[in-house]
């Protein structure tokens, strides 16, 4: 499945190009990518997650990329890799090259006369590009995107479609932004006075480093005073919310539906699992892992795993736990009382 239209590489070519050890014929060609369970003889498959190791024995894949330790259990050809999943990614990119849209500005785009757009950039249909903005070489601005005045899109960066980039925001090189992303909307800045809210102007920017990828419908607010910053190689999944003045360290990955409140700083090489929330004005150090659906309310200064997610149970059992939670205060008293009575009894006996 997922046949590429390109003639596939031979296993020998893949082994040489990626420095893999081939167990199988040099001239065997693979043209598609598939899972172990669904692969046919023309497909390449991979084994990286031990949960799927049981599928190795029965796979019909033409070849499998795997770690040295799994080679003996593979019935057919294989390519032994130090990092099977990363090498799979490299081969997949080779079999499914991204086809860039043609350079130039679509007739329907509204590009301000003062915007600087590289000749090699591609501006799609129904795009708006504001005054004084800059689109660098080979950048792709897909259909329906809005680039506000003064924004800067770096070289080889792709905005897939319907992306919003606010005024004066800056995207680095090789950034990928998926549809519906809003970068540089005003942060939630409000001052309460005389019985009503007053908007606090949000005059900072958003700065996105090189090689970041940002998932669909994610929102990153502009800074209130200083800037909201993603360092290089930060990876955000879909529907993530990053509030004003947050700073996220390089190589940190954040899964879907996570929210990070204002002015919090996240370190480098962190991993934040889905639907977690991080309160504002915190500092999370490097190499912290937050497990799914957790609530971070205090700063973390030691690397490691943290969490507060509660696994679902059958509702009747969970209801009983909830009842018990309401009794804990009473239990504390009763336990203390029992201990006192015991002590009294033991003392009397002596």
- Can you tell me the distance from the alpha carbon of 69 to that of 325, in angstroms, rounded to the nearest whole number? 47
Q: Which of 228, 233, 188, 229 is nearest to 210 (CA)?
A: 233
283 belongs to the binding site for its own copies (CB under 8 A): no
195 belongs to the binding site for its own copies (CB under 8 A): yes
| Interface segment toward its own copies; rule CB under 8 A; list 11-19, 22-30, 115-123, 217-225 | 217-225
86 belongs to the binding site for its own copies (CB under 8 A): yes
What long-range pairs does 90-93 form, CB within 8 A, spacing at least 24?
A: 90/18, 91/9, 91/14, 91/18, 91/33, 91/44, 91/65, 92/33
The footprint of its own copies on this chain (CB under 8 A) covers a number of residues equal to 129
| Interface segment toward its own copies; rule CB under 8 A; list 53-61, 62-70, 133-141, 247-255 | 247-255
Q: Is 186 exposed, middle or buried (0-12, 13-18, 19+ CB in 10 A)?
A: middle
58 belongs to the binding site for its own copies (CB under 8 A): no
304 belongs to the binding site for its own copies (CB under 8 A): yes
> What does the angle CA 139 – CA 144 – CA 148 come to, to the nearest 5 degrees?
70
Both tokens of 22, joined, read: 């081939």
- Can you tell me the distance from the alpha carbon of 189 to that of 202, in angstroms, rounded to the nearest whole number? 7
Tell which positions 17-56 bind its own copies, by CB under 8 A: 33-35, 38, 49, 51
Name which of 128 and 157 has its Cβ closer to its own copies.
128
| Interface segment toward its own copies; rule CB under 8 A; list 57-65, 72-80, 113-121, 233-241 | 233-241
Q: Concatenate the DSSP letters of all residues of 228-273 into one string.
A: EEE-TT-EE-TT-EE-TT-EE-TT-EE-TT-EE-TT-EE-TT-EE-
Both tokens of 300, joined, read: 């973390």
192 belongs to the binding site for its own copies (CB under 8 A): yes
Tell which positions 126-165 bind its own copies, by CB under 8 A: 126, 128, 142-144, 146, 148, 160-162, 164
114 belongs to the binding site for its own copies (CB under 8 A): no
Contact present, 211 and 233 (Cβ < 8 Å): yes
What letter does residue 96 receive in the DSSP assignment?
A: S
Q: Which of 125, 155, 265, 283: binder of its own copies (CB under 8 A)? A: 125
| Interface segment toward its own copies; rule CB under 8 A; list 19-27, 55-63, 66-74, 319-327 | 319-327
Tell which positions 60-79 bind its own copies, by CB under 8 A: none
332 belongs to the binding site for its own copies (CB under 8 A): yes
316 belongs to the binding site for its own copies (CB under 8 A): yes
191 belongs to the binding site for its own copies (CB under 8 A): yes
Q: Which of 26, 69, 197, 301: binder of its own copies (CB under 8 A)? A: 197
| Interface segment toward its own copies; rule CB under 8 A; list 53-61, 66-74, 113-121, 276-284 | 276-284
321 belongs to the binding site for its own copies (CB under 8 A): yes
Q: Which of 55, 132, 188, 283: binder of its own copies (CB under 8 A)? A: 188
H or E element in which residue 197 lies: strand 196-199
Q: Which residue of the set 96, 244, 251, 281 is catalytic?
A: 244
Buried b or exposed e, range 173-185, using 16+ CB within 10 angstroms: bbbbbbbbbbbbe
Strand order in the sheet with 32-33: 21-23, 78-80, 63-66, 43-46, 32-33
SS3 87: helix
Name which of 16 and 337 has its Cβ closer to its own copies.
337
User: Would you call 170 a catalytic residue per the annotation?
Assistant: no
| Active site amino acids | 244
């Amino acid at each position: 499945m997922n046949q590429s239209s390109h003639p596939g590489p031979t296993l020998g070519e893949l082994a040489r190009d990626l420095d893999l050890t081939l167990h199988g014929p040099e001239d065997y060609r693979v043209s598609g990518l598939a899972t172990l369970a669904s692969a046919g003889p023309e497909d390449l498959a991979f084994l990286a997650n031990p949960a799927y190791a049981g599928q190795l024995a029965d796979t019909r894949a033409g070849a499998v990329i795997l770690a040295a330790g799994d080679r003996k259990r593979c019935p057919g050809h294989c390519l032994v890799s130090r990092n099977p999943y990363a090498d799979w990614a490299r081969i997949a990119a080779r079999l499914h090259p991204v086809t860039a849209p043609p350079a130039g500005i679509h007739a329907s785009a509204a590009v301000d006369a003062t915007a600087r757009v590289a000749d090699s950039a591609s501006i799609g249909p129904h795009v708006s590009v504001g005054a004084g903005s800059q689109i660098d070489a080979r950048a792709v601005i897909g259909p329906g995107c809005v680039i506000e005045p003064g924004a800067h899109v770096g070289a080889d960066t792709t905005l897939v479609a319907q992306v919003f980039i606010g005024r004066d925001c800056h995207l680095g090189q090789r950034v990928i932004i998926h549809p519906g992303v809003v970068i540089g909307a005003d942060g939630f800045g409000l001052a309460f006075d005389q019985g009503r809210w007053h908007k606090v102007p949000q005059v900072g920017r958003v700065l996105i480093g090189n090689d970041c990828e940002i998932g669909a419908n994610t929102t990153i607010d502009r800074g209130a005073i200083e800037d909201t910053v993603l360092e290089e190689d930060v990876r955000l999944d879909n529907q993530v919310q990053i509030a004003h003045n947050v700073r996220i360290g390089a190589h940190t990955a954040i899964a879907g539906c996570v929210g990070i409140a204002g002015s919090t700083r996240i370190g480098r090489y962190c991993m934040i699992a889905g639907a977690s929330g991080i309160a504002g004005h915190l500092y999370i150090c490097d190499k912290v892992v937050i497990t799914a659906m957790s609530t971070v309310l205090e700063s973390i200064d030691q690397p490691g795993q943290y969490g507060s997610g509660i696994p679902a149970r059958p509702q009747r059992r969970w209801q009983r736990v909830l009842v018990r939670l309401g009794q804990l205060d009473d239990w504390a008293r009763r336990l203390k009382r029992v201990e006192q009575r015991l002590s009294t009894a033991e003392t009397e006996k002596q």
